A and B are shown apart, each in its own frame.
Chain A
Amino acid sequence: MADLSVNLAGIKSPNPFWLASGPPSNSARQANRAFEAGWGGIVWKTISNDAIVNTSSRYASLNLGTLRMAGLNNIELTTDRSPETNFREIAEIKRRWPDRAMVVSLMVDTRECWHEFVKRAIDAGADGIECNFGCPHGMCERGMGAAVGQQPAVTEKIVTWVMEVATIPVIVKLTPNITDITYAARAARQGGANAISLINTIKSITQVNLDCLVPEPNVGGLSTHGGYCGPAVKPIALHMVQCCAADPEVGLPISGIGGIANWRDAAEFIALGATSVQVCTAIMHYGFRIVEDMIDGLSGYLDAKGFKNLAGLRGKAVPMVQKWESLDLNYKRIARINYDKCIGCNLCYIACEDGAHQSIDLVPPNGQGLGPGRVPGKPIPKIREEDCVGCNLCAIVCPVESCVTMVSIPTGKPKLTWKEYQEKLARGEIKPIPAHP
């Protein structure tokens, strides 16, 4: 069994799975249940010094087909329970679960306040602090949350306030509502933070109710821009995590967040540089029990891959993401159809014909073997290999596993990146690649 334990800038936990700051991490009752289920750590629901009042009607969802909550949006603020209650419960939970990571998320305004709340968190026995500079709704109107995270200078400033009194590791939670997240991450580093976590939610409107023309969540006839999370944001989160992991000027350990729902998602975040991962929406959807498969699946995967611990996996995919200009222009792949599997839905055909590069024909089946669903005599899709640009679309739309596959074709040509191409062109060593007809 691979070792799943992690150490994020000194915050230790038996596994990388933490509750993200949010509704699931709002109380001792929930924290107990989560730890009983096996979660490795918790980032407590953000505590602030403002008296918090929440609206009734707070979440809205993007449903895709029968899949509910492909994306979730919320307009909730920080915890609406008092700081006293929260710190008391935090202390209780830490006493009861000493081996689990207890991180306290804070969002306050003045320097004095930050000092006071950081100390209270330390006194409660927290293992770390997470500065919430990411909440994109409500609190940012009051100069907190994303209002901080969107201005690197302010981020840096506030982090220095925190570091003045922090005796435990400090994580800065970043907002994705920014053009280039590495600027915010570097600011956190400049301010002295020990780690970063990302992403917080993305500004969004998930849906407009077409009967009353009010977007959801509807609060008495009005709505507001909410924060988006859940499976739909994972690609954005992965991109941002990789950017931070690859940036030497950031150079901080990362707690990955955004759309993680199972061990595969977690493994992807870890491969792109995350040390721990945090989960919110998936718990809101299915409850704490999902961690069982997360632990089971991840350790099984590590064993199968021969990794003794998470360090073996961490960051392995980071260097595999490079600038476009470093990609090999001479690399060629094309689509191939496995006719034994083809069911004759023609989705590859119409996708390529109307949506891609017109490289599939419908031709008479002429002796071609038949797949499990195909109608004899009905035309079959056939890829014109010389025209296929290898865009992957047909393989993506094909509903049958490994029916359309993309295969690499040896071109016999040496690797040629855009950069080299431009240089060789300038030197007159190479003729321009002809434009696509």
Chain B
Amino acid sequence: MPISPKLGPEAAAANMADIAPRYTPQEAIIEANRCLFCFDAPCIQACPMGIDIPSFIKKILTGNLTGSARTILTANILGGSCARVCPTEVLCEGACVVLDREKDPVKIGRLQRYVVDYAQENRLQVLKAPSGKSGKRIAVIGGGPSGLGCAAELAQLGHQVVVFEKKPNAGGLNTYGIAYYKMKPEVSLAEVELVKSLGVEFRCGVEVGKDVSIKQIEKDFDAIFLGLGLGKGGRLNLPGEDVPEVVEALDFIEQIHTHPLHDVAVGDRVAVIGGGNTAIDAVTQALRLGAHEAVIVYRRTREEMPAYEFEQQLARTYGVKFLFNVVPTEILSNSKGHVTGLKLARTSSANGKVQILPGTEFIEPFDMVIKAIGEQKQVELFKKLFPALEIHPRGVVRRNPDTGQTNLPNVFSGGDCANGGREVVNAVAEGKKAARGIHAFLSGGKTSGPVQPSRYGVQGAPVGSGFDKPIRVLELEKEYARQRK
């Protein structure tokens, strides 16, 4: 049986509604009041953008929402989407010390969303590009989070920026690839508008290397930022993989973002192969769109699953089933070419190595299979665009992490194509760092962020914070445990 949409418009919309809806003004005040207003707060250090979190929260309390939005957006142009998609549990909120670091932190993400939504809705002009221009032109290739972070910062430094985006809309994964119940594509598109309002030009539907050559770009621009993200989803290389009901997770999610929800086809019994956060996004959305049953098929143990604990928990409370230490060995279809199930085998994954246990094969019926096994690196594309570009053996662009500069002096890079795939917020941070690198390269000028009131006078570092040297709460927990011993 071919798969089909399962829910009507209302049911689909209800199931896909925000999991963390916007605070009402009163809720925001109550939550903001919980903030201790720490000096040199740990949350600032745990935020890869180094947003002055206590400051923006304090401003909510004084009714200065314009100023609050400015505090957020000057540090993080994508403050609105990060507020929704950041794994705050391991970033700012994970570092929050109110009561204790593990207990009921201030809901920083939701407060941030409240402020940015307010600014967005009331069309507050909180950021401004300087009127004096440098005369320098920069091409940003790839309009995803890193490209936007780079473009916005460059525009605010007085440079002229053009963003080249292959898809019809910029925003990258924020527009096409986030679980719908976390963020709607409109949020991302509004952020693209915000970047546009700083004077950045967007050329969407333009594929660099095809519609415009690198040669041309190098002629027209003084520097280039590469924020290409990752490529297509990986292949399982299994028999029966190339049938319509076997889809890549990001394609499935993109459909959700580009079609009315009630037009998105899902199976009755859906298998999602993979154990990362994208697998979780795919499996919960399949369930929310009306799948009867949705199962994560992961080849290692539960403990080894890379998805965040809170994401796994979310899936569990939503009724997702898990098959651990199981791999697919074949995708089964009927004579008409429709998926009927998976042939699976049990594995052992002791000391990290996955081994199929012989004689354990079994069959599970499914009518849809979603692959969430990571995206491919784009080595070919890099080679094609810049034959001399130095590539890391991991398949990513090699660049100076502080400046984004590659071995080609006028080419800078950041985001997933350089870090191999991290959070949206890391991509924005790298884009912003690269913008400062480009600024230094073009004008010899160094930039630093505005003085942060919550860190004013911190010895040796009046500005900076998590943007310069983020702490990771996951790593922190380990270190913490070690020191306690």
Smallest CB–CB gap between B196 and chain A, Å? 33
Smallest CB gap from B477: residue in A: A376
Query: Does B97 sit within 8 A of A, measured CB to CB?
Result: yes
- Given A372-B101, A375-B471, A376-B479: A399 and B42 within 8 A (CB)? no
Do residues A374 and B97 form an inter-chain contact, with CB atoms below 8 A?
yes
Q: Are B100 and A372 in contact (CB under 8 A)?
A: yes
Which one of A345, A353, A370 contacts B483 once the chains associate, using CB atoms below 8 Å? A370
Roughly how many angstroms separate A65 CA and B45 CA in the complex, as a whole number? 26
CA distance A374 to B484 in the complex (A): 11
Q: Give the residues in chain A near B36, CB-CB below 8 Å.
A: 345, 347, 399
Q: Which residues of A contact B41 (CB under 8 A)?
A: 345-346
Task: Tell me, yes or no, whether B39 is within 8 Å of chain A by CB.
Answer: yes
A364 to B40, alpha carbons, bound, how many Å? 14
Contact with A along B452-485 (1 / 0, CB 8 A): 0000010100000000000100001001100110
Q: Whole-angstrom distance from the CB of A403 to the nearest CB of chain B?
A: 11
Chain A nearest Cβ from B244, distance in angstroms: 50
A313 to B98, CA, bound (A): 38
CB distance from B109 to the nearest CB of A (A): 18
Q: Could you say which residues of chain A place their CB within 8 Å of the CB of B457?
A: 353-354
Closest Cβ–Cβ distance, residue A206 to chain B (whole Å)? 17
B311 CB to closest chain A CB (Å) equals 24
Alpha-carbon separation in the docked complex, A93 to B39 (Å): 57
**Is B314 an interface position by the 8 A CB rule?**
no
Kindly state whether residue B38 has any CB partner on chain A within 8 Å.
Answer: yes
Q: Could you tell me how many residues of chain A have their Cβ less than 8 Å away from some Cβ of chain B?
A: 21
Count of B residues near A, CB < 8 Å? 28
Checking B98, B459, B476 against A375 with a beta-carbon cut-off of 8 angstroms, the contacting residue is B476
B313 at the interface (CB under 8 A from A): no
CA distance A135 to B97 in the complex (A): 47
B1-55 contacts to A, CB under 8 A, are: 29-30, 33, 36-42, 45
CB distance from B476 to the nearest CB of A (A): 6
When distances are taken between beta carbons in the complex, the residues of chain A under 8 Å from B98 are 343, 373, 399
CA gap between A1 and B418 in the complex, in Å: 74
Q: Which residues of B contact A370 (CB under 8 A)?
A: 480, 483-484
B214 within 8 A of A: no
Contact B480 A345 (CB under 8 A): no
Is B61 in the interface zone, CB < 8 Å from A?
Answer: yes
Q: Point out the residues of chain B lying under 8 angstroms from A353, CB to CB.
A: 457
A349 to B38, CA, bound (A): 10
Q: Which of A349, A354, A372, A376 sits near B476, CB closer than 8 Å? A: A376
Is the CB–CB distance between A347 and B33 below 8 Å? Answer: no
Contacts of A344 in B (CB 8 A): 38, 42, 97
A375 touches B33 (CB 8 A): no
Q: How far is the CB of A375 from chain B (nearest CB, A)?
A: 5
User: In the complex, A294→B111 CA distance in Å?
Assistant: 38
Cβ-defined partner of A350 (8 Å) among B39, B61, B95, B96: B39
Contact between chains at A347 and B39 (CB < 8 Å):
yes
**16 residue pairs from A and B, CB less than 8 Å apart:** A66-B29, A66-B33, A343-B99, A343-B101, A344-B97, A346-B38, A346-B39, A347-B39, A354-B457, A362-B459, A370-B480, A370-B483, A373-B96, A375-B471, A376-B480, A377-B479
- Excluding A370-B483, A373-B98, A375-B42, 13 further A-B contacts by CB distance (< 8 Å) are A66-B30, A343-B98, A344-B97, A345-B38, A345-B39, A346-B38, A372-B97, A372-B102, A373-B100, A376-B479, A376-B483, A377-B479, A399-B98
Which residues on B are within 8 Å of A, measured CB to CB? Answer: 29-30, 33, 36-42, 45, 61, 95-102, 457, 459, 471, 476, 479-480, 483-484
Task: Give me the 7 closest cross-chain CB pairs, A-B, nearest first.
Answer: A373-B97, A350-B39, A343-B97, A346-B39, A345-B38, A373-B101, A372-B100
